[in-house]
Amino acid sequence: MKLAALLAASAASLLAVPAIAQDNRDTTKDFNGPYIAIGGGGTLQGSDRGETLVFDTNRDGTYGDTVNTAAGANAFSPGFCNGAATGTANLGCRNDKDGPEYFGRLGYDRRMGNFVLGAVIEGGRSVARDSVSGFSTTPASYTMSREADYQANARLRAGYTPGGGALFYVTGGGAYAKLDNRFTTTNGANSFADNGRTNAWGYTAGGGAEIMVTNHIAIGLEYLYTDVKDKDYVVNVGAGTAAPTNPFLLNGGGTDIQRSDPHFRTHSVRGTLSFRF
């Protein structure tokens, strides 16, 4: 619903731009050649249903072990939830965080009649955050969160321009993100160490429209879906001040924790302002 509302509002803004008379311009030259662009908008991070924390209790590199108490009970029987924990027991989680984004772009288009083929290199940042939490019987909460310090992509795009002045296109390509991972817990007994920032690779795809408002300036509206994958972020749980019977220590002195879903997925709706040479 949030995405639909944002798309509708953005489309209304673009359509509200006054029509520019094309009679005095040679529209056959539109959308042909190099350009630079800036833009901004909103990034939506939907809740990833069913995500959990996964454990490697003997640190053999294989996740999916159960963290058991000394009595053999599942120490994480209260369960997991999508988002950041709101308490120490299984009291629920806050929704993942949406936020603004901004970016810069270099591009080149080749127009062939009414068809346009192009390439885009883009870099920028958004503040959307994706979290997952687990709850132990201690009770204690454990939350992993990630957001992109910066993102970049290289895309192709293909479009159609009905006589010049406006371009409608689809786009897709490879994507990269430098992820800022964070771990928080209310467990004050064990020690916790993580590897912080990690690299994530994946793809992005979407579509949009552009309108030439002068011979050199265009405004646009674009939607992108981005999916990058990070399997490197790990939290290492140590002894700290905990007793040897601590559930994290029973199978060899420590436990590693990861997220069950390595994918960081976002939806972006953005406006663009381009200058064409």
Are the C-beta atoms of residues 45 and 263 closer than 8 Å to each other? no
Instruction: Give the N- to C-terminal CA distance of the chain in Å, as an integer.
Output: 39
Tokens linked to 39: 């833009």
> Going residue by residue through the chain (277 aa), what tens digit of pLDDT does each one get?
455 455 445 444 444 444 444 456 678 889 999 999 999 999 998 766 789 999 999 999 999 999 999 999 999 999 999 999 998 777 788 889 999 999 999 999 999 999 999 999 999 999 999 999 999 999 999 999 999 999 999 999 999 999 889 999 999 999 999 999 999 999 999 999 999 999 999 999 999 999 999 999 999 999 999 999 999 999 999 999 999 999 999 987 899 999 999 999 999 999 999 999 9
Cα Rg for the chain, rounded, in angstroms?
Answer: 24
Are the C-beta atoms of residues 182 and 145 closer than 8 Å to each other? yes
Could you tell me the domains of the chain?
A: 2-15+33-276 (2.40.160.20)
Are the C-beta atoms of residues 48 and 267 closer than 8 Å to each other? no
Please give the pLDDT value at position 17.
46
